[in-house]
Amino acid sequence: MLKPAVLKHRRTTLERVEKFISEIYFTDCNLRGRLFGASCPLASLSCFETSQRIPYEEAVRQEFRLVKVGDCFGSTWQTCWFKVDLSIPREWTGKEVHLLWESEGEGMIWRDGQPVQGLTREGEKTSYILTDNLKETDPHSLTLYVELACNGLFGAGKGSMIAPPDPDKKFSLQKAELVVFNRDVHELLVDFEILLDMAKLLGEENQRSFQALYTANRMVNLCDVANPSTFAAVHELACSVFGQKNGESQHVIHAMGHCHIDSAWLWPYDETIRKCARSWVTVIRLMEKNPEFTFVCSQAQQFEWVKNWYPGLYSTIQKFAKEGRFIPVGGTWVEMDGNLPSGESMVRQFLQGQRFFQQEFGKLCLEFWLPDTFGYSAQLPQVMNGCGIHRFLTQKLSWNLVNTFPHNTFVWEGIDGSQVLAHFPPADSYGLAGCVEEMLKTVKNNRDRGRVNHSAALFGFGDGGGGPTQKILDRLRRMKDTDGLPRVQMSTPDRLFTALEKEKAQLCTWVGELFLELHNGTYTTHGQIKKGNRECERLLHDVEVLSSFALAQKSSFQYPSAKLQHLWRLLLLNQFHDVLPGSCIQLVAEDAMRYYSGMNLPWPLREASRGPAPHILVVNTLPWKRTEVIPKAGPGGSKTLGANSFLNLPLQVDGSVIMKNGLVRVCLDTLGRVTSLCLMQPERESVPEGCCANQFVIFDDVPLYWDAWDVMDYHLETRKTVAHLLKPLEIIQPGGLRGSVTFSLQISEKSVLTQEVILDAACPHVRFQTQVRYACNLLWKLFPLLNTPIPVYVL
């Protein structure tokens, strides 16, 4: 006899399914509550704490003290090593057994002297598979070590993610035990999750939405959580939906595992080394269990770190790279800033990166991979083409504050006409969780529908590392070819771009810079880092030129290739997109400045100029003629080389100064403002009438969120001029080869600005050397932004 159909109410049915898999409600009787079976405590747990990041071999020789779950450890940036003694019950034979570990901080499990998996609650990695099927003959007692870094995926900010680190933060261990993991329950939870999302997100007007909802409801009816023998039939019901295929015209999503790791940001460089190891060893474990899984990874510097610190892991990575599954991408030394480095540094990023990938993996990268940089110079397509790269991937312009970028797949043309094929993943992220909502957004958000039918989806926890999880892979597997959803296939960058290139003739072209409408403040934040970068770029250029001269002069001279490569790589590392822009914590800025200070090594000059008598060697290392005043340090202090009759600096009656050298004339008023900057032959004024240059002004600097990163448009409404003269204009060097004037301004009660204006003989430009003793008021309304606009005619 047929049972009468039951009228289903959509809302109550949806909520019924939600509660059946909820982590919060009814876990005593729902499916989620059956994910773990029996449990038992650890045989023993002990700990050793250190302020150093030490290798495993050293750590295991230390003296450990007994600890327990609930204890707190360390302070920020310390490391806690845990010795974990396990004894698996004999009655668990045939079961999948996990070590369940929940703690604050980032952990890595060591087994038999090798790293085997990362642990982080933020990255949904809180258990380690000891065995997926315990056998009688398997060892039931073993010892593991957990290396716990006292920082999270996103550092240890006090009060907010981007706040300075909290030096006194403590890290607790909430759970450490052995558990039986019910894999069949896990599979059913993923089934329910995908069906529930399909029901909610496809909409009430979509037939597949109701099919998914009704199937999920039937599964709840059939599933007896106390009787695992019902689980297979429940899973079959889900497969009946997932097995219904798409049509040929459905959008194809190229899914690739990804783990964006900032080489430094809210944590120092040294911690990034461990982040790479924690993330990548977890990727390797996933590859061993999921043969279809592919993973892309950029930044040659990070590969070199892992090679030096974790050689066993690195060898395994090379093995999977040969299989085409662990895929190096990007071609650069790091994911650098896209605007501030010089053109030569941009080229060196590719030179050092591609050289490393060729040597270590036997191939060059075919695509430039820069998903998180604050804008992209129009010079980059030319640089890419010169390095054999014609493909480009990013997503950062999805962060634009005002204008939505009009394309996801397009041809990007640089200032010289060079072109590359560019792709922005339409989900606007490089750290997807592999859920239905993201796949639907990838299709809906694609601004080039009709032109292309392929796009990328990069999945895995990122920024602070973490990477993909088994649950993400299980979700994607169910969406491989399910009617109503886009087709999701595990792919590679080459397969993606090959598909896009077939449709290239239909694509639009964007000419010029890819400007990010956000984080404009990073052009000035941590000015010393930017100064150090430019000085070291110049220094390395000069060292290479002088070394070449020295080699030409003396065949016995040893060209310092290895040392130069080392120094270039340090400089390129500091050009990472959160270091050079200054969007990093102070600890990283200190590391960067230490690297810069180690580059002041003029050894080629010493080698080339060794002779019987001391002498001065003046060399022009630039490819054009220069006439400059050169300071000479001697027993009597700094002097200048040359004659003494080129410059004259008369002090006017009103306290203003006129500086001229036959090429330019500079007029300074009593506040040090430039009222006239004139090219004398032919006569041409640069400062517009009624304006003045070098006028110091202050603005309120209160962004919407990213403090020290952003300069918002409304700051222009708070303009105040700095007009309190503390020390009047004084001529320091009255003329000859160099003339200079100094003055001081009061910015605020405790802040003073002192500037020296310098004009040299035969020099077509004027220089400003400014020092600020800056003490800001901690009241948020009084954080000033100091600026000196210079309005000029540009011909």
Structure tokens at 566: 């080392």
CA distances from 438 to 140, 428, 456, 458, 782 (A): 42, 9, 11, 10, 42
Q: Which residues of 302-337 are buried (b: 16+ CB within 10 A; e: fewer)?
A: bbbbbbebbeebbebbeebbeeebbbbbbbbbbbbb
Q: Which residue blocks in 223-268 are alpha helix, DSSP H? A: 231-242
Q: How many helices (H) and strands (E) does the chain have?
A: 17, 35
Bond before 682 cis per omega within 30 degrees: yes
- Helix 10-20 vs helix 207-222: crossing angle, to nearest 10: 50
441 contact partners, CB below 8 Å, separation of at least 6? 426, 427, 428
- Helix 561-574 vs helix 343-361: crossing angle, to nearest 10: 110
- Per DSSP, which regions of 552-629 are E strands? none
- 409 burial class (0-12, 13-18, 19+ CB within 10 angstroms)? buried
Q: Which of 270, 372, 481, 542 is catalytic?
A: 372
The DSSP output letter for 430 is S
Neighbouring-strand partners of residue 718: none
Our measurement of the distance from residue 205's CA atom to the centroid of its chain's CA atoms, rounded to an integer in Å, reads 41
Instruction: Answer positive or negative: Cα dihedral of 402, 406, 410, 411.
Output: negative
Apex CA 779: angle with CA 778 and CA 782, to 5°? Answer: 95
Q: Is 372 a catalytic residue?
A: yes
91 contact partners, CB below 8 Å, separation of at least 6? none
Neighbouring-strand partners of residue 376: 514
3-state secondary structure of 429: coil
Structure tokens at 318: 């090379």
DSSP per-residue codes, 324-374:
TSEEE-S-SSS-B-SSSS-HHHHHHHHHHHHHHHHHHHSS--SEEE-TT-S
Round to whole Å and give the CA distance between 660 and 674: 13
Contact 686, 677 (CB under 8 A): yes
Catalytic center residues? 372
